[in-house]
Structure 1
Amino acid sequence: MKKVLVICDLFPPAFGPRMGYLCKYLKHYNWEPVILTEAVEEKTFTFLAGKDKVTYVNYYTAKNPVLKKLQWISTLFLDLCFGYKDTRMYNAAKKLVEGNTFDLILCSSFRTFPLPAAQKVADKYKLPLVVDLRDIIEQYTGDEFMSHTLPSFCGLNKLFVSVFKRKSLRDRNRVLQKASYVTTISPWHVDILKQYNPKVELIYNGFDPELFYPEQKTTDQFIITYTGRLLSTAMRDPGLLMEALAILSAENVFTDKDCRVYWYVDDASREIISEEARKYGVLPFMDFKGYVPASDIPSILNNSSVLLLLTNRAQGTGPKGVMTTKFFESLAVEKPILCVRSDESYLAKAIDETKAGLAATNVKEVCHFLKYYYKEWREKGCTSSPIDKNKLLRFSREEQAKQFIKIFEKINIHG
C-alpha cells in the first residue's frame, strides 16, 4: 500500500470535509493517508473522525474566552513576524516523515497555512508536493478570509489585515511555483492559480454517495432550508428571498403558518439574517436552528421543500468562484435549489446544466419558483427536482478521490 502525508489546516472532527472524505476513500484504493493538522475545538464532522492516523498540533490552549482571544491575536502576530505556526507544523511533520516511508505530500489549505511547512518538508526529504486550495484570498469581497475579526484600535487592525494579506499571498505563491501539482475547487480558481503553476487540476467539492441520496418525505409545512454561515451580505445576499417572501405573503400565496425558513447557522449569521428579514417585514417566517452535526444534514435536506444557496454577483468586487459543498449535497438529494442572488458565473452555470433549480437575478423569478414548488408541495406533501443524474456522478466524493489518485500516480511514474 502506498502512503501519503496529508498536511492540512483542518481535519475531522473539525470542519474539514474535503480532506476527511478524501481520506475515507483513499483507503479503498490502496493509499494510506497519515494526517497532520491543527487542533481545534469544533466537532462538526465527528462521524469522519477516529478512522485515520492523525497528529494534532495545538496552538490555542487557553480556556478563558478573553485569554483565548489574546492568545489568538498573539499567535497571529508571531505567525506574521516569524512564521510561528508553520515552524511548529514543520517540526511535527519531520517526526512523521522520519518514522514512515511516504510516496508524496498533499497539503490542503483555505488560505496559506500550512503550505510553507509542507514545502519545507518536501524539500528536505525530496518528496513530491501536491497543493490543494479549497478557497483563496482573491475570491473574497473584503477581509472575510480572516478567521476572526480583529479588535479596532486606531485603525491598526486594517493595516494588520493588509500586511497579513500581502504576506499570505506571497508565501502561498512561492509554494505554488514549486509544487508538483495544484488542485482546486472551481474553474475560476483554476484560472487564477495557473498564473503561478501551469499544472492546476479542477477537483470540485462534492457529496458522499453513502450519505446523500434522495428520500421522498412528506412534511406538514413548506420548508426552505439553509445550512452554513453568512460572513457578510456582500458575499452572500439573502435579499431576493426576503423580498419574495414579503410579496407572496402580501398576495396571500402562503403565510408564516405553512411556510417556514429554517436557518442552521451560527449566532453571527443569525444577526445578519434577522436584520435583513426585518427590513422586509418577514422575520415571522424565520426559524433559527443553530449548527448541527454534519451527520444530521442528509435528513435535514430530505425533509425540506426548497434548498437555499446564498451568494452574490461575481462581477466587479463580488465573490468569485463560489462552488460550495452545500450545492453538491443538495444536488444529491434531488431537492429544488434556489440560489440567491445568482453569481451569474460558474455556480449559475452548474445549476442550469444539472437542472437543479434556479439561480435568480430578480425577485420575479424567485416568486415564480416558490409558487411552483409550493403548489407541488400542496399537492404531494413533498417536492423533487429533475436532476440530470449523468452530470451528478462526477461530484461524488468517491469519484473525486479517484481524481486525486490519478495525480498521485502521475507523479509516481513521471516524478
Structure 2
Amino acid sequence: ICDENPGIIIFSTSAPYTAHLIARELKRQYGYPWVADFRDEWSQNPYLSAATRYHWKRHKKAEQTVLHEADAVISVTDKITRGLQVIAPDSQAAFYTIPNGFDPDDFLSFHAGLGTKSNQQWTLTHVGTVNRSRAELLLPFIRTLKKLSTSGKIPLSTVKLQLIGAGDWSNPEFSGLDWIETQNYLPHQEALKILSQTDLAILAEANPAAYTGKIFEYLGLQKPILGLVHPESPAAQLIKEADAGYVAGLEEGPLLDEALINSYQSWQKGISPVQPNLEVIARFNRERQAKQLAKIMERIQRKEYGAYP
C-alpha cells in the first residue's frame, strides 16, 4: 500500500499496541506522516499486565518510541492525552483528543429517546463484558438494592436487573437472586434494542481516566445513566454535563441510595428522571468526529502541527 500510494498517511490505533509498532516500522522505512491513535492508555493502563519487570520495561520503551516518532498522537480523553504528554515531554508530535462516540444509524430500527412507564418491572440494564474487577464494581449496587428492599423503599418483586454480556458471577453475592437475569453475548443490534427499552442504563468503570465506550450509546439512546464510576473521571463529568443521569461513585452511600430511589419513583410515575442536553450529546456523533479526524490528517499532511482548530 505504501509503495503504491506515495505520501499516504499512516494511521494506527490501539489496542493491540502492536499496531503502533507496525506503523512505526512503516514510518521508519517510508518517512510518511504517521498518526497514532490510543483508545486506551498503554503503560499507564491500570488493566495492563506484564509477565516480568523486563516485559514492563519493554512496554514503556516501545511506548516512548511511538510517542516520539509519530507526527500526531490522538487519544479518547483529555486525561489520557495529558498523561501521554507528561511521559513524553520532549515529543515533537501534535497531541489531540477525539472522544469515542455513537453512530445514529445504529438506532434507526427502534425508537431512541425517553420513554414512559411501559415496563411492568423497573428495569435496569448493564451491557458489556463483566470481568472479575467490574463485577466487584456492581457489588455495592447489588447490596444497596437489597438494603432498599429490606427498608421497603424498593420491593425487589418490582425490579429486573439485566446483565448482558460474558460475565464472572463467581461471587456468592450474585447467587440466588431471581430478579437478576444474565445473558451471554448478544449481537450489537439486539443489545441496543434491549437498552432502548430499559429504565436505567448502568455504567461501571473504575479507571479514573476512562469513559468506556458504552456511555456514548447510552447517550445516543437518551437513556438515564447510573454511573458507578470514579467521581472525577471523564465519564462522571460527561454524565453531569449532559444532564444524562446520576454519578453514584464506586462505593455504597447516600448518592447511590438517592439515585436508585429517584429513578424508581420516576418509573412509578411514568416520567423520565432526566432531561438530557441534546447539544452536548450531539458532540459525540461519529460523523462529526470523523470530520475532526479528517482535519487533523489534513494538517499533518501539510505539516501544520499546531493546536487543534
* SS at structure 1 position matched to 2:293: helix
* Alpha-carbon offset, residue 392 of structure 1: 1.0
Give the Cα–Cα distance (whole angstroms) in 1 for the partners of residues 2 and 229 of structure 2. Answer: 46
Which of 145, 156, 168 does residue 48 from structure 2 map onto? 145
Given residue 365 of structure 1, which amino acid in structure 2 is its aligned partner?
A: L
User: Deviation per CA, 1:178-198, whole angstroms, max 9, x where unpaired?
Assistant: 111000011110111113235
Which of 140, 144, 149 does residue 244 from structure 1 map onto? 144
**TM-score between the two structures when normalised by the length of structure 1:** 0.65
**TM-score between the two structures when normalised by the length of structure 2:** 0.86
Which of 242, 245, 261 does residue 371 from structure 1 map onto? 261
Give the Cα–Cα distance (whole angstroms) in 1 for the partners of residues 182 and 44 of structure 2. Answer: 28
What are the ranges of 5 or more consecutive residues in structure 2 without an aligned counterpart? 305-309
Q: Is the 8 A contact 2:21 2:62 kept in 1?
A: yes
Q: Does 1:107 align with 2:12?
A: yes
Q: Does 1:214 align with 2:113?
A: yes
Give the Cα–Cα distance (whole angstroms) in 2 for the partners of residues 113 and 387 of structure 1. Answer: 39
* SS at structure 2 position matched to 1:192: helix
* Alpha-carbon offset, residue 165 of structure 1: 2.7
Q: How many residues align?
A: 293
Give the Cα–Cα distance (whole angstroms) in 1 for the partners of residues 205 and 52 of structure 2. Answer: 24
Q: Does 1:277 align with 2:174?
A: yes
Q: Specify the alignment match of 2:278 in structure 1.
A: 389
Give the Cα–Cα distance (whole angstroms) in 1 for the partners of residues 41 and 150 of structure 2. Answer: 42
* Alpha-carbon offset, residue 341 of structure 1: 4.2
Give the Cα–Cα distance (whole angstroms) in 1 for the partners of residues 134 and 164 of structure 2. Answer: 20
Q: Does 1:409 align with 2:298?
A: yes
* Alpha-carbon offset, residue 112 of structure 1: 2.0
Q: How does 1:166-245 map to 2 (within 5 A)?
A: 166-195=57-86, 196=88, 197=91, 199-212=94-107, 213-214=112-113, 216=115, 218-233=118-133, 237-245=137-145
* Alpha-carbon offset, residue 214 of structure 1: 2.0
Q: Is the 8 A contact 1:356 1:387 kept in 2?
A: yes
Given residue 241 of structure 2, which amino acid in structure 1 is its aligned partner?
A: E
After TM superposition, what 4+ stretches of structure 1 lie above 6 angstroms from structure 2?
A: none
* SS at structure 2 position matched to 1:292: coil
Q: Is the 8 A contact 1:180 1:411 kept in 2?
A: yes
Kindly indicate whether structure 1 or structure 2 has the higher relative contact order, using CA contacts under 8 Å at least 6 residues apart: 2
* Alpha-carbon offset, residue 275 of structure 1: 3.6
Q: How does 1:2-401 map to 2 (within 5 A)?
A: 96-101=1-6, 103-110=8-15, 112-141=17-46, 144-146=47-49, 160-195=51-86, 196=88, 197=91, 199-212=94-107, 213-214=112-113, 216=115, 218-233=118-133, 237-266=137-166, 269-272=167-170, 274-278=171-175, 283-312=177-206, 319-361=207-249, 362-380=252-270, 383=272, 385-401=274-290
* Alpha-carbon offset, residue 262 of structure 1: 0.6
Give the Cα–Cα distance (whole angstroms) in 1 for the partners of residues 104 and 24 of structure 2. Answer: 33
Alpha-carbon RMSD across the aligned residues, in angstroms, is 2.4
* Alpha-carbon offset, residue 236 of structure 1: 6.1
